Amino acid sequence: MLKIKFTATYDGTAYYGWQRQNTKETVQGTIEKFLYKIFQKEILTIGSGRTDRGVHAKRQICTTTLPKKVNLVKLQNSLNSLLPDDISISEMAIAHPDFHPCYSATGKIYRYHISTKKILNPFERHHHFHYPYALDIKLIKEAIPLFIGTKDFSAFANQVGKNCKTPNPVKTIFSITVTEDSGGFSLTFHGSGFLYKMVRNITGALISYGSKRIPFEKLKAILESKNNIHNLFQAPAHGLCLEDVEYSSCGN
């Protein structure tokens, strides 16, 4: 038996999220389908976390256990030749026996892309949330410190326990960075981990504040309530991308 670690990169537009489902096309299910074709037996994978329907990933870290030793370069090439064009395996290596793509993670980085152009570029439609309305970026930057640090983010999670780690609503956000360009901006979230739909809910709240639909006092009260009963605007899935997953030096 051989435990390997690999990195999956994918455009999530055509998939019902990462996690395998019996009747719907998912990224994990697609990878496992072609692993079966190669090995002629079921090969299960584990990812660093779930991404929802329509969410993308540059570096989804995964592991699997193979029934025999193989040439990993040949395996990677074979798998990539079978996978559809919107999924690729960019890295593959032998994993440490104790490595787990989710439990060994020390941090994750997500980026949310927002287009503020009057007319959306068709090539961006699957990767940017189009918001062509009045939006004050200065207000968004003003509100960001409210979310930095170790806090109970229950109010910004659809389901607190729906992730691969212990269902603990207390997470640490190290930073949220705003990057502006001529067509809009992106929000980069760097944290210890994120609850189910937490990034999309915080993004939606920041957009609501930046468009002056809710006051700062309400934004603060929602966070402090620790209760997701506020019917927040949730930013749509297709603007979100899992950029990277971080591990300690021994987590290889």
pLDDT at residue 252 is higher than 60: no
pLDDT band per the 50, 70, 90 thresholds, residue 249: low
Backbone angles phi, psi at 148, to 5 degrees: -85, 135
**Percent of the chain having pLDDT more than 90?**
88
Strongest mean pLDDT among 124-128, 159-163, 228-232 = 124-128
Per-residue pLDDT tens for 194-242? Answer: 999 999 999 999 999 999 999 999 999 999 998 877 778 999 999 999 9
Per-position DSSP letters for 119-160, written without gaps between them: S--GGGTTTSEE--S---HHHHHHHGGGG-EEEE-GGG-S-T
Per-residue pLDDT tens for 163-205? Answer: 455 578 999 999 999 999 989 999 999 999 999 999 999 999 9
Q: What is the Cα–Cα distance from 252 to 236, expressed in whole angstroms? A: 33
Both structure tokens of 178: 């705003």
Q: What is the pLDDT of residue 165?
A: 52
Residues that are catalytic: 52
Per-residue pLDDT tens for 21-49? Answer: 999 999 999 999 999 999 999 999 999 99
